[in-house]
Chains A and B, each alone.
Chain A
Amino acid sequence: MAGQFEQEMSEVALETNPQGDNWHPGGAPSQSLIWATQCVAKGGSIGVIGVFPPQAMTFPVGALQQRNLTLKGGNCNHRKYIPRLVGLVATGALDPTGILTNREPMTDVIEAYKIFDQRQPGWIKVELLPTAGG
């Protein structure tokens, strides 16, 4: 599997520039896709989200076929959902700030990026406060 992942990484990470612990691409590009096709019930549906580069080529199509799966993916159509989610939050039914773990002023943004990049525990979502608004 490791050799497979290395091959995938060479497909998607054409130029890298890691510095110390920072800016290392993920090491197993198709892992969660593979898990998805194994984990879902036969005949089930998979939704793939996230921004992928056009060079990404790997998906376990054998599993798709063998298990009669439905696969849907794409970039999010944000404008379609935002008005209704704003409405949901406005009613108080859901408060999305629970996942906000860090609030950083713009002046500290580069440092915040580096910590966020390392996935340090507790750094789940970082809000940035631009100096003009604050």
Chain B
Amino acid sequence: MKAVVFHGVGDIRLDDVEEPKIQEPSDAIVRLTSSAICGTDLHMIRGTLAGMKLGTILGHEGVGVVEEIGPEVRNLRVGDRVVIPSTLGCGYCSYCRAGYYAQCDNINPNGPQAGTAFFGGPEPTGPFDGLQAEFARVPYAAINLVKLPDQVTDEQAIMISDIFPTAYFGAEIAEVSDGDAVAVFGCGPVGQFAIASAKILGAGRIFAVDKEESRLEMARAGCGGHQLQRGGPGRGHLQPHRRRWGGPRHRGRWGGR
């Protein structure tokens, strides 16, 4: 199958690789119908997220069809359309059962202190071969695959594999609640969803900050009537926010560097 493979910092290639196989009874194999490129992938290629094992398949966003399941996967059938969460969990440790899938005790082969396991990441995250490929092996498939209803298209679902949840998580941990003024720094894809998520959580005013006009325009079009304020590098731009509006109470920030 074709897959995007990491060959070194600054070196990625579209290679022909072996298709993945079921290894554990809790695995599933998914045939990918949609994948995506994410800002986090760039960290690995640029070298700001070190420790990539050479030969790892990149990509942590995917939508597809269940092709094969192990005997312990009882909540899915071959042919089901699914979205694949970017981060992996076992579903039964105390962290997973508290909703902290990113701190699962079991799924990272490097141990409970090793941190988050995700697709297509550096060796400390697994590594787990990623989703910029034609097929993927999904461990603990019963928890790591989410079935899609017919009304949600593949195109909509690929946004829900990683970036929409990440943004929503950001709005939640920033403690956005009804009436709040929220500033969102960085209006790339995750930022756009952070704005939408702040709105869902009840924000009264949302300040979108970016230096790219097309991104601010996208934010404006998405949010409709919300107050959006342009910002840019340099502290001078930020002072008017505080004077005119009393300063945002909450804030989200994303995308690393």
Contact = CB atoms under 8 A, between A and B. Distances in A.
B257 A26 contact: yes
Give the interface size bracket for B toward A: 35 or more
B91 to A, nearest CB: 8
Nearest to A72: B173
Given A25-B46, A40-B247, A50 B254 contact: yes
Interface in A81-101: 81-83, 85-86, 88-90, 92, 94-100
Interface string B149-163: 101110111111111
A25 to B, nearest CB: 5
Nearest to B117: A75
Contact of B185 (A32, A92, A95, A132): A32
A15 B9 contact: yes
A79 B89 contact: yes
A4 interface: no
B1 A132 contact: yes
Interface in A114-134: 116-117, 119, 121-122, 124-134
Best-surrounded residue of A25, A109, A121, A126 (most CB of chain B within 10 A)? A109
Contacts of A85: 160, 164-165, 168
Q: Can you list the 5 inter-chain pairs with the closest CB atoms, starting with the nearest?
A: A47-B174, A17-B10, A133-B33, A26-B257, A78-B85
Given A47-B174, A88-B200, 11 more contacts: A12-B48, A46-B253, A49-B194, A50-B256, A79-B89, A89-B151, A90-B151, A106-B132, A125-B159, A128-B36, A128-B59
Interface of B: 1-2, 4, 8-14, 31-37, 39-43, 45-50, 59, 64-65, 83, 85-87, 89, 91, 96, 99-102, 115-116, 118, 124, 132-135, 143-144, 146, 148-149, 151-153, 155-175, 181, 183, 185-186, 188-190, 192-194, 196, 200, 209, 212, 214-215, 218, 221-222, 233, 235, 238, 241-242, 246-257
